[in-house]
Structure 1
Amino acid sequence: MNESTIALHELSFVPEGDEVLVGRLDTGSYAVFPADGAQLLRRLTEGMPLDAAAEWYEETFEEAVDVEDFLDTIRELGFVRETGDERAEPAAPVGLRRLGRAAFSAPAWVCYLAVVLLWLLALTRYDGLRPDPSQVFFVKSLLVVQLVITFGQVPLLLAHEGFHILAGRRLGLPTKLRLSNRLTYIVAETETNGLLSVERRKRYLPFLAGMLCDAVVLAGLGLAALAGRHADGSFSTAGRLCLALAFTVVMRIVWQFQLYLRTDLYYVFATALGCYDLHEAAKAVLRNRIWRRLGRPERQVDESGWTAQDRRVGAFYGPFIVLGFCTLAAITVFASIPVTLEYLRIAARALGSGRVDARFWDSALSLLLNAAQVATLIVLARRKRREQRRPLAPAAPGAVTTA
């Protein structure tokens, strides 16, 4: 007889249809359990001895359970408090929770909607407000344009991530900000620990809060540019600056549709479809499909590490990945290439004029700064590639990262 009890860490239980998402908030270890397994785990967390839990399970579900095997599973997940494990200290109160509630209160939503609607109305009346790549060059100096666009985005990015943080703090979840790089992008990311510990309907706002901020900022910049419009219909320097920054905000919104990356919209899709690791499951299903068609079954990976829903959705997630690459192509064709060509045209005119004047040095320094940025991105991309080659222990997603 095994009448011993098992010491378990504090766990969260979130019903997800016929299954239950169980996890530890302090470590971010989560796993999907069938409803009967989750009930058994609850009994163990309440201090029920192993043998008594096995008897309860057999009486309730009319089938036997291998408690020792079940114990091995939850031990691998880190749910069991091993000898020497320190008891987690009570979590400190999450700061900014009141501000988070205010930021997404009914009056705040009315203000956000009013700003966006006013901007949309202005778009129908003033063509110059519509986003256009030419708006980036709001002054003749390439160096000024580059510095303003680069550093002017910092407060806008912080506002974007700040909304993610406030949406998480509103739910009482700890959040933190970090910098990372994806492919050739340097991005700011908000890591929301424990987001999977709240019910599914409450996760959407933390995911979409950044895009909400971008929409309001875009509308605000457009209205600010309109306020500085001259009598002849032209925009002031401050107005052109607002339009230049507004164009970068548009690109950031469109960037979220690159669903082959873990963007904010990716998490919305995955949550709505009832998935937990759709990105990796879709890639695994696609790779296995390719290896099967090539007659190389030994190269296939075990798909049992993902839920049935992840595998089911991953089987037809391909079109969404294609949509992501189409978004990248659209950004390249309609934004990156026009801006780059105009930049090179202005720089070539200044450098090829035969005069070593202010325009010459302005363009030369701008090109040098661009070269330094590209070199930095290459170094960061190589470092990240080396880190990704290191073997990592499999872990269930616990801290959701939005960018």
Structure 2
Amino acid sequence: MADDGLLLHELSFVPEGDDVVVGRLDTGSYAVFPTDGAELLKRLAQGMPLSAVADWYASAFGEAVDLDDFVATLWELGFVREGEEQPQGPPPRPVRLRRLGRAAFSLPAWACYLAVVGGWTWAVTRHTDLAPHPSQIFFVRSLLVVQLVITFGQVPLLLLHEGFHILAGRRLGLPTRLRVSNRLTYIVAETQINGLLSVPRAKRYLPFLAGIVCDGVVLGGLGLVADATRNPDGSFSLTARVCLALAFTVVVRVLWQFQLYLRTDLYYVAATAGNCYDLHDAGMMLLKNRMWRLLGRSQRLVDEEQWTPRDRRVGKFYGPFIVLGYAALAGITVFVSVPVTIQYFSIARQAIASGHVNAAFWDAVLSLCVNAAQVAALVVLSRRKRREKRLSTPQTSPSAEVELA
């Protein structure tokens, strides 16, 4: 404290309905304050002495405030600056690629995206063989070639998907970074956007949806290339078949976003639209409480007061969508994973059981080894993530670091 006041770090104040989200962009520590609490914090940030702040609050709101408790909360959130701490250091450097982010989501860019998607849609209505189908994965007989092309061919597509998230965030001047992680049985790349809660709610939708926008454009582009590179007799060339195989993986990635229990990009859209801070856990617990009440097992009920009234109100309607997320998983399993797996092992079995140690035999063996290596990588990532979760401390405020896959 200095002169009976508090030294505070630079804070952002973003109105959210009847509340205000306050936080530090540099650390990602954010919390939701009622309007009167936010106004009180603004006075402290302006350097008003504590005694004067207490008098101002009593005059403005007609009641006394427990400043000791309020200040203790600010310390817990890391909003208070130690006397010897520097205010913020030198001004942060401008976020890189901000111009490119603005260009990527400019009106001309949107016109190009719509033209590609519209052209692909029109082509599919004329040539139904362009429509995504699991059999398109096996564009050649060699399982190893299929495995390598699908595995490494997806890398630039995944980076492009995450690149759109990054550009959408940097367009707003927010720092972003990319990391590889896993969710359940999937290895994924994630974009972390620090400080997204520091911008108005309406501006958060594009960073959440940018990856899906990219997937739609990539799907359309690959489909158009496949249609344009047909053989003279109308059959697909090798280039066309590779494009369709990669396009099918893009479709699966879009369908994956509907598994809302994984906190996918669409989950963040729903949480933002509902003006919620922990919609996933609130919706899940409310759904479980409803189930326990129906089963008459009241001892299993969880205290619902730990979530905000808004989270509880929206969570009642969101719970069924979590169930639909599991239905999406079932649909992907039945209509995508199972057919692809059956065809894959059918080809591998024929090659290995043929009795000939030839190119097809070694092709199948090496392909199975590549699959085993991917499973091993998934196990390592899963263990690392569980270890990080055990070592991390519980958060007392909404995080401003959003992970988009």
| TM class, shorter-length | over 0.9
**Partner in structure 2 of residue 209 of structure 1:** 210
Instruction: Measure, in 1, the Cα distance between the counterparts of 2:363 and 2:311.
Output: 52
2:219 is aligned with 1:189: no
Which residue of structure 2 aligns with residue 258 of structure 1?
Answer: 259
Decide whether aligned partners of structure 1 residues 3 and 59 sit closer, same or farther in structure 2, where only a CA change above 3 A counts.
farther
**Partner SS for 1:179:** strand
SS of aligned partner of 1:266: helix
Q: Which amino acid aligns with 2:299?
A: R
Query: After superposition, where does 1:150-169 map in structure 2 within 5 Å?
Result: 150-169=151-170
Backbone CA RMSD of aligned residues: 1.7
| 1:397 matched to 2:389 | no
Q: Out of 287-296 and 211-220, give the one that drifted further.
A: 287-296
Deviates more, 1:349-358 or 1:84-93: 84-93
Quick one: percent identity of the two aligned structures? Answer: 67
Q: Is 1:300–2:302 an aligned residue pair?
A: yes
Corresponding residue for residue 13 of structure 1: 13
Task: Could you tell me which runs of 5 or more consecutive residues in structure 2 were left unpaired when the two chains were aligned.
Answer: none
Indicate if the aligned counterparts of 2:282 and 2:315 stay in contact, CA closer than 8 A. Answer: yes
Give the unaligned 5+ runs of structure 1.
none
Q: Which residue of 2 aligns with 1:115?
A: 116
Counterparts of residues 3-402 of structure 1 (less than 5 Å): 4-89=4-89, 90-287=91-288, 293-296=296-299, 300-301=302-303, 303-304=305-306, 306-390=307-391, 392-395=393-396, 396-402=398-404
Deviation at 1:230, TM superposition (A): 1.6
Q: Which piece of structure 1 moves more, 224-233 or 338-347?
A: 224-233
CA contact (8 A) 2:284 2:322 kept: no
Question: With structure 2 as the length reference, what TM-score do the two structures score?
Answer: 0.95
Partner Cα separation in structure 2 for residue 330 and residue 277 of structure 1: 27
Q: Deviations over 1:307-364 (max 9, x none)?
A: 2211222233221111110110111011000000000111111111111111011011
Number of aligned residue pairs: 400
Distance 2:165 2:359 in 1: 43
In structure 1, C-alpha distance between the alignment counterparts of 2:76 and 2:35, rounded to whole Å: 19
Alpha-carbon distance between aligned partners in 1 of 2:172 and 2:144, rounded to the nearest angstrom: 43
Whole-angstrom CA distance in 2 between matches of 1:397 and 1:43: 24
Distance 1:274 1:69, change over 3 A: same
CA contact (8 A) 1:3 1:50 kept: no
